[in-house]
Amino acid sequence: MFNSMSIELKGEKELAAMRKAASVVAETHTVLMASVEPGMSTLDLDKIAEKEIKARGAKLAFKGYRGYPATLCVSVNDEVVHGIPSAKRILAEGDIVSLDLGAIVDGFYGDSAVTVGVGRISDEAKRLLKVTEESLFKGIEQMLPGNRIGDIGAAVQRHAEAAGYGVVREFVGHGIGRALHEDPPVPNYGNAGTGMRLQPGMVLAIEPMVNAGTADVKVLKDNWTAVTCDGRLSAHFEHTIAVTEEGPEVLTTRGG
């Protein structure tokens, strides 16, 4: 069923497949988060992600997408998003690392990101991770039938900026389903009460990228890795969430 903006509303059958894809993503994240330690390379993490996704009978969502070369996006410290795994990039105690991954089951996508510390991290870094994840959940709380897309971005932006942080504008969340990126775009900023109305069956990936300093980012010469212009830290949290009559259902919730 498609509405005027070509948003496919997911019924129970589609949601069942999306729950499976989302669980694979969540379980893979749980393994990755327990694996992160000083001395390992970002490519080591990519290999773990690929193994865990395939072990669950799912397909890789990112590899080959617009030419992206890996299973995982691994973005360290001032890297904002789309960091390409590399054997040369070795994690050190005190780093923060964003792990963004997707999986496909029965033709449906799940997509989620989390930022974790490597060993002990500074109080400043801890606060950035906490506020960014809270901002994601402020956005999720707005995913109620009758609310609008702008309500999500406004809630995310308000929380992140109240903490003194910059919200990245160049990358946004998205509808998700039979494709990784579907309509509508879901900015992490904006005005409450504006934009498309939310209705049951819409599934969105909300993914705030929050910078410790200014919001400005640039893309490196590899054409993928986005970094903060001021060199300060950036964090990224993402979930795949369905709008239901009963409220938001976070499909990529991690157990424990």
Binding site for Co ion (CB under 5 A): 111, 205, 207
Q: Is 38 in the site for ligand MF3 (CB under 6 A)?
A: no
Which span (17-25, 52-60, 64-72, 136-144) binds ligand MF3, by CB under 6 A? 64-72
Query: Which residue of 68, 86, 185, 244 would you call a contact of ligand MF3, by CB under 6 A?
Result: 68
User: What is the token pair recorded at 234?
Assistant: 């950036």
Q: Residue 141 CB: number of other CB atoms within 10 A?
A: 14
Amino acid letter, 108: F
Contact set for ligand MF3, span 87-126 (CB under 6 A): 100, 111, 113
| Residue 62 touches which member of ligand MF3, Co ion, none, C-beta under 5-8 Å by kind | ligand MF3
Whether 154 and 191 have beta carbons less than 8 Å apart is answered as yes
Considering CB distances under 5 to 8 angstroms, the limit depending on partner class, which of ligand MF3, Co ion, none binds residue 29? none
Distance between CA atoms of residues 239 and 163, nearest Å? 21
Is there binding between residue 168 and ligand MF3 (CB under 6 A)? no
Q: Measure the CA–CA gap between 238 and 34, rounded to whole angstroms.
A: 18
* Coil, helix or strand at residue 163: coil
Binds ligand MF3 (CB under 6 A): choice among 207, 237, 243, 249: 207
Q: Which is nearer to ligand MF3, 61 or 131 (CB)?
A: 61
Q: Which listed option, ligand MF3, Co ion, none, makes contact with residue 137 (CB within 5 to 8 Å by class)?
A: none
| Residue of 195, 189, 191, 186 lying closest to 215 (CA atoms) | 189
Q: Return the biggest CA–CA distance within the chain.
A: 51
Residue where the block lists tokens 């795949």: 240
* Residue with the two structure tokens 């424990």: 256
| Residue 39 contacts residue 91 (beta carbons within 8 Å) | yes
Q: Choose from ligand MF3, Co ion, none: what does 107 bind? Cβ within 5-8 Å by kind.
A: none
Comparing every residue's Cβ against ligand MF3, the nearest one is 68
Binding part of the chain for ligand MF3, among 1-9, 40-48, 63-71, 140-148 by CB under 6 A, reads: 63-71
CA atoms within 13 A on the CB side of 212: 19
The token duo for 42 is 């970002």
Which residue, 73 or 96, is less far from ligand MF3 as judged by CB? Answer: 73
65 binds ligand MF3 (CB under 6 A): yes
Residue number, 205 or 235, with CB nearest to Co ion: 205
CA–CA distances in Å: residue 8 to residues 2, 15, 147: 5, 12, 18
Minimum distance of ligand MF3 from residue 231's CB (angstroms): 23
- Residues in touch with ligand MF3 (CB under 6 A): 62, 65-66, 68, 73, 82, 100, 111, 113, 174, 205, 207, 238
